């Protein structure tokens, strides 16, 4: 069963008098529990697609169905609620809050979801243990390696038990060996049933995904399964 379905999705921008289509009539389905690499040259539409999937932007036309619900038609507040409760984000630059500890960074989404401090801390400790940082919960991001910071970011993305994980170049700031460890962790999460959509320009990273979507000029040019 597809978790995500895009139907003739177009995203257009006006550059002066010229309309530029970052996505041009895109139709694709992403199955529940699948692991996709979204690939293509600069300007192919990868980042625009990820922003739409993450409810950070809306399509100019077409439909985006998440679990059967047309999220493209929701209001800004409703899309914010979907982001908070249904989507987990993993960024190239980690996007951790430097003043907070590992535990507090992981716990942050749960705070916004209304969890009690006790429940949130317990969930955050469990997730820190799951990503191999059970002994680093009182550290701050500046006291961690790049790979450890990305593990914190992954744990934070998992805090709300999201329907879908969106990863934007998750190994881009890491060396090859550390990047492979992070990809192995994502592979483990996918093996447990998490749906992962990942933007990458590296074939070695894309090889960890079971499916690859190649974009060019906002259109699908190839799908490898």
pLDDT at 49 > cutoff 80: yes
Residues 133 and 214: their CA atoms lie apart, in Å, by: 34
CATH code of the domain occupying 34-60+76-211? 3.40.50.300
Residues 212 and 123: their CA atoms lie apart, in Å, by: 33
Per-residue pLDDT band for 1 (boundaries 50, 70, 90) equals low
What percent of the chain is modeled with pLDDT above 70? 100
Can you say whether residue 209 is alpha, beta or left, with left for phi > 0 and alpha for psi between -120 and 50 degrees?
beta
Per-residue pLDDT band for 73 (boundaries 50, 70, 90) equals confident
pLDDT at 188 > cutoff 90: yes
Q: Give pLDDT, residue 225.
A: 87
Mean pLDDT within 149-157: 96
């Amino acid at each position: 069963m597809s978790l995500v379905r895009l139907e003739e999705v177009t995203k257009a921008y006006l550059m002066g008098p010229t309309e530029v289509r970052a996505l041009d009539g895109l139709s694709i389905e992403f199955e529940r529990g699948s692991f996709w690499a979204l690939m293509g040259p600069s300007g192919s539409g990868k980042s625009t697609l990820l922003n739409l999937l993450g409810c950070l932007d809306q399509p100019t036309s077409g439909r985006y169905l998440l679990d059967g619900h047309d999220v493209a038609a929701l209001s800004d507040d409703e899309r914010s609620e979907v982001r908070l409760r249904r989507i987990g984000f993993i960024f190239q630059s980690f996007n951790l809050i430097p003043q907070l500890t590992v535990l507090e960074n992981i716990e942050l989404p749960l705070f916004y979801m209304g969890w009690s401090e006790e429940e949130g801390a317990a969930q955050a400790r469990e997730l820190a243990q799951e990503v191999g940082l059970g002994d680093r919960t009182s550290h701050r991001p500046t006291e961690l390696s790049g790979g450890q910071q990305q593990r914190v970011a992954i744990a934070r993305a998992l805090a709300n038990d999201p329907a879908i994980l969106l990863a934007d170049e998750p190994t881009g700031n890491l060396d090859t060996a550390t990047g492979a460890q992070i990809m192995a962790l994502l592979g483990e999460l996918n093996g447990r049933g998490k749906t992962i959509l990942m933007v990458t320009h590296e074939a070695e990273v894309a090889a960890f995904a079971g499916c690859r979507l190649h974009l060019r000029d906002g259109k699908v040019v190839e799908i490898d399964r």
